[in-house]
Chain A
Amino acid sequence: MATVQVSEAEKVYILHGIRDDLRVDGRGCEDYRHMEIETDVVSNTDGSAKVTLGHTAVLVGVKAEIGKPRPMIPNEGYLEFFVDCSANATPEFEGRGGEELGTNLSNVLYKVFSNKHSLDLHSLSISPGEHCWVLYVDVLLLQCDGNLYDAISIAIKAALFNTKIPRVNITSDDEGGKEIELSDDPYDCMRVNVENVPCIVTLCKVGHRHVVDATLQEKACSVASLIIAVTHNGTITCSRKVGGGSLDPESIFEMTETGKRVGKALHAPLMKLLQQEESLSKKRVRVGFLC
């Protein structure tokens, strides 16, 4: 990840501030930075979303394609994740530099979504064993300013909410083979239910306390972080510790409790905002990066 150099004096300053629940930019330990979400930014995709969290900017595009279901689970569709750490974020990501981080991020996303309650994969099946919808979720990292997991998971939830999958009819032709017909009406589409899609909360341990939505400076002062994927009713689908330092069990319990509380509180306003945006859809002017 793009890192910043922080001097000893700065580290002490940040540590003391967090100890008193006051971070460098005035936030409390459990506050997020200013977040902006916009869906339907790229018209080539079936669903897209752009999330800006402080200086971190993430663009997610979802494309639905018809493919063969997995042999072990013939009556479900599946998701494929790909995270592209573009050179826009930092010159270190040029060429193959961003591949390692990208692979790490997509592995975590696979783990988070491997839970069968996150998304109704049965609805993605067309004909069991032969055809199903494959949702390719492509994440593009445009700017890195800490807290990538949170921004990416919120963008994925928004993009999946925005995804419109065309309806298909299966007809059998004369030789007994199956033909797939996509419906002609561009508005005749299936939506994905994102109620149970989890949001990832990253908690960084700085000193004796932990913070949510750490900036790069705070990350440089932290020992280790805990990534928790939380659903709207407080269930944890995935939990992982990252970073080189060690955490003791009490810290992990405390951080998990905070993560559950913060994660649960994220979902309701997010869904309300997405539905509000959806209701303006025809009249809304798509801004994208033009503002």
Chain B
Amino acid sequence: MAGIELLSDQGYRLDGRKATELRKVQARLGVFAQADGSAYLEQGNTKVLAVVYGPHEMRGSRSRTLHDRAVINCQYSMATFSTAERKRRPHGDRKSTEMSLHLKQTFEAAVMTQLFPRSQIDIYVKILQSDGGNYSVCVNAATLAVIDAGIPMRDYVCACTVGFVDETPLADLCYAEESGGVSSLALALLPRGGQIALVQMDARLHQDHLEALIEAATTACKGVSKVLDEVVRQHLQEASVLTGE
């Protein structure tokens, strides 16, 4: 296609990465003292803050209470200065509502909600800087926040957005690649069992390539899970040093 070359002949992408390389992930748990659980995650230039409140009593409509498990309530919102062009409304538009529903679906698969009947868990995700792979970075940040809140989960939930260019799957797309007309697929995975919590794609892709793309996404997610695990263990070590254990 005309314009920017997303994958050079030597196999380098726009930002110098190879096709299967992820962006640099830096994260921190327990950023805010007032929330039950919070985490901040940076994946390349995409920066996300996730905050978890709960489990607590149902707020708002009591009629939505489930008698046998907890309700997960997510809100996805972007800071108005997060995108290159200023965004007028932080949330409430269709895209944000759709993302919130996707996050809810993803975490309902992972969080052990049967342990908290008749209660609600709130997960709020805020994008401070957007540079591609928004959904995936949100899922990763929210996983850390849920762990920080001490809510039991079946496994880490790791997500990655992959694209397909020149017969090659590219892992962890940045904004320039996403908007360059690449067929992108977002996958949320529970790495230990290899279970897929959410898969989403709205572009055209030939059926033969689908398996390769999902395979690449799964590998990338497993890579992310290693990083997240490392962050959690580091945090735990720091906390136990401070409490003198």
Q: Is the pair B32, A87 in contact by a Cβ cutoff of 8 Å? A: no
Q: For chain A, residues 86 to 129, give those with C-beta under 8 angstroms from any C-beta of chain B.
A: 86-91, 94-96
Given A87-B77, A95-B75, A289-B40, A42 contacting B47 (CB threshold 8 A) = yes
Binds B, one of A32-40, A56-64, A167-175, A183-191: A56-64
Q: How far is the CA of A44 from the CA of B132 in the complex (A)?
A: 13
Give the total of A residues in contact with B, Cβ under 8 Å: 34
What's the nearest-Cβ distance from chain B to residue A138, in Å?
4
Residues of A within 8 A of B79 (CB): 42, 59, 61, 84, 138, 140
Q: How far is the CA of A88 from the CA of B37 in the complex (A)?
A: 10
Given A63-B86, A91-B122, A289-B40, A138 contacting B59 (CB threshold 8 A) = no
Q: Is the pair A289, B31 in contact by a Cβ cutoff of 8 Å? A: yes
Binds A, one of B8-16, B123-131, B194-202: B123-131
Given A143-B32, A290-B42, A88 contacting B26 (CB threshold 8 A) = no
The interface bits of chain B over 73-90 (1 if a CB of A lies within 8 angstroms of the residue's CB, else 0) are: 101010111111010001
Does B70 count as interface, using CB distance less than 8 angstroms?
A: no
Does A288 count as interface, using CB distance less than 8 angstroms?
A: yes
Q: Is the pair B49, A142 in contact by a Cβ cutoff of 8 Å? A: yes
Residues of B within 8 A of A288 (CB): 40, 42, 47
Residues of B within 8 A of A86 (CB): 77, 90, 124, 126
Residues of A within 8 A of B129 (CB): 42-44
Residue from A48, A84, A89, A145 in contact with B90 in the complex, judged by beta carbons closer than 8 Å: A84
Given A88-B49, A290-B26, A55 contacting B34 (CB threshold 8 A) = yes
The interface bits of chain B over 40-73 (1 if a CB of A lies within 8 angstroms of the residue's CB, else 0) are: 1010010101010100000100000000000001
The interface bits of chain B over 84-122 (1 if a CB of A lies within 8 angstroms of the residue's CB, else 0) are: 101000111000000000000000000000000000001
Residues of A within 8 A of B40 (CB): 288-290
Does A233 count as interface, using CB distance less than 8 angstroms?
A: no
What's the nearest-Cβ distance from chain A to residue B55, in Å?
12
Who on chain A is nearest to B31 by CB? A289
Q: Is the pair B81, A63 in contact by a Cβ cutoff of 8 Å? A: yes
Residues of B within 8 A of A290 (CB): 26, 28, 40, 42
Does B33 count as interface, using CB distance less than 8 angstroms?
A: yes
Residues of B within 8 A of A291 (CB): 28
Q: For chain A, residues 58 to 89, give those with C-beta under 8 angstroms from any C-beta of chain B.
A: 59, 61-63, 65, 82, 84, 86-89
Given A94-B124, A142-B49, A289 contacting B86 (CB threshold 8 A) = no
Does B35 count as interface, using CB distance less than 8 angstroms?
A: yes
Does A217 count as interface, using CB distance less than 8 angstroms?
A: no
Q: How far is the CA of A53 from the CA of B122 in the complex (A)?
A: 25
Given A86-B126, A91-B122, A61 contacting B81 (CB threshold 8 A) = yes
Residues of B within 8 A of A55 (CB): 33-34
Given A61-B80, A288-B47, A94 contacting B122 (CB threshold 8 A) = yes
Q: How far is the CA of A129 from the CA of B38 in the complex (A)?
A: 48
What's the nearest-Cβ distance from chain B to residue A77, in Å?
16
Residue from B59, B82, B126 in contact with A88 in the complex, judged by beta carbons closer than 8 Å: B126
Listed A/B pairs (13) with beta-carbon separation below 8 Å: A42-B129, A84-B79, A86-B124, A87-B122, A88-B38, A91-B124, A94-B75, A94-B124, A136-B86, A142-B32, A142-B49, A290-B40, A291-B28
A residues whose Cβ falls under 8 Å from a Cβ of B: 42-45, 48, 55, 57, 59, 61-63, 65, 82, 84, 86-91, 94-96, 136, 138, 140, 142-145, 288-291
B residues whose Cβ falls under 8 Å from a Cβ of A: 26, 28, 31-35, 38, 40, 42, 45, 47, 49, 51, 53, 59, 73, 75, 77, 79-84, 86, 90-92, 122, 124, 126, 128-130
Q: Which 7 pairs between the two chains have the least Cβ-Cβ distance?
A: A61-B81, A289-B40, A87-B124, A138-B80, A88-B51, A45-B81, A138-B81
